[in-house]
Amino acid sequence: MFGIFDDPNALWVLTGTTLLGVSAGLLGCFAFLRRRSLLGDAIAHAALPGICVAFLITQTRSLGPLLVGALIAGLIGAFVIQVIIKRTKLKEDAALGIVLSVFFAFGIVLLTIIQHSGAGNQSGLDKYLFGQAASLIGSDVRLMAICAALVCVLALLFFKEFKLLCFDSGFAAGIGFRPGLLDGILMTLIVLAVVVGMQAMGVILMSAMLIIPAASARFWTERLGTMIVLAAIFGALSGAGGTFLSTLAFRMPTGPLIVVTSSVFFTVSLLAAPRKGLIAKGYHLIATRGRVQRENVLRSLYEELEETGPGTRTVTIASVAGRRGMNESNLRSTLERLLREGLVIREPDGFRLTEAGLEAAHGVVRNHRLWEMFLMYEGQLGADHVDRDADTIEHFLPRETVGELERFLEIHGLEPRLLPNVHAVDGIDKAEGGTA
Partner 1 sequence: MSDSMIIILTGAFVAGSCALLGSFLVLRKLSMLGDAISHAVLPGIVIAFLVTSSRNSLPMFVGAALVGVLTAFLVQFLSHRGVQGDAAIGVTFTTLFAIGVILVSHYGSAVDLDLECVLYGEIAYAPFDVIFIGDQSIGARALWVNGGLFLLNLAFIFVFYKQLKLSAFDPELAAAVGIPVTAFHYMLMGLVSVTTVGSFESVGAILVVAMIIVPAATAYLLSENLARMIGLAVLLGAISSVLGYEIASHLDCSIAGAMASVAGLLFSLALLFSPRQGIVAKAMSRRGLRRQVAEEDVLLWAARQRELISAEGFTMHELRDTHPDEIDRLARALSRLIHRGLLAADRDGFELTTSGREEGVELLRRHRLYESFLGDKLGYDTDHLHDPADRVEHYISPDDTTEIERVTEYPDRDPQGKPIPPSQKEKEKEKEREKESS
Per CB under 8 A, residues contacting partner 1 are 32, 35-38, 40-41, 83-84, 87-94, 96-98, 100-113, 116, 126, 129-130, 204-205, 207-208, 210-212, 214-215, 218-219, 251-253, 255-257, 259-260, 263, 266, 270, 276, 278
The residues that bridge with 353 in the sheet, in sequence order, are 344
* Closer of 103 and 374 to partner 1 (Cβ): 103
* Least distance (Å) between residue 373 CB and partner 1: 36
* Closer of 137 and 271 to partner 1 (Cβ): 271
* Closer of 254 and 296 to partner 1 (Cβ): 254
* Least distance (Å) between residue 204 CB and partner 1: 6
68 touches 53 (CB < 8 A): no
Q: Give the strand pairing for 314-315 and 344-347.
A: unpaired
* Closer of 249 and 424 to partner 1 (Cβ): 249
* Least distance (Å) between residue 207 CB and partner 1: 6
* Closer of 42 and 373 to partner 1 (Cβ): 42
* Closer of 144 and 208 to partner 1 (Cβ): 208
* Least distance (Å) between residue 132 CB and partner 1: 11
Q: Give the strand pairing for 314-315 and 350-353.
A: antiparallel
Q: Which of 24, 163, 157, 48 is nearest to 104 (CA)?
A: 48
* Least distance (Å) between residue 147 CB and partner 1: 22
| Max intra-chain CA distance, the chain | 101
Q: Where are the beta strands (DSSP E) in 211-299?
A: none
244 touches 226 (CB < 8 A): no
CA dist 156 and 228 (Å) reads 10
* Least distance (Å) between residue 183 CB and partner 1: 16
CA dist 418 and 414 (Å) reads 11
* Closer of 15 and 238 to partner 1 (Cβ): 238
Tell me the angle at which helices 63-87 and 179-201 cross, rounded to the nearest 10 degrees.
Answer: 130
Residue ranges of alpha helices (H) inside 346-390 are 355-376, 378-381
* Closer of 88 and 308 to partner 1 (Cβ): 88
Q: Which of 429, 416, 412, 208 is nearest to 310 (CA)?
A: 416
* Least distance (Å) between residue 100 CB and partner 1: 7
* Least distance (Å) between residue 162 CB and partner 1: 17
Residue 351 has φ and ψ, to the nearest 5°, of -125, 150
* Cα–Cα separations (whole angstroms), residue 312 to 301, 351, 362, 365: 12, 11, 16, 19
The residues that bridge with 346 in the sheet, in sequence order, are 351
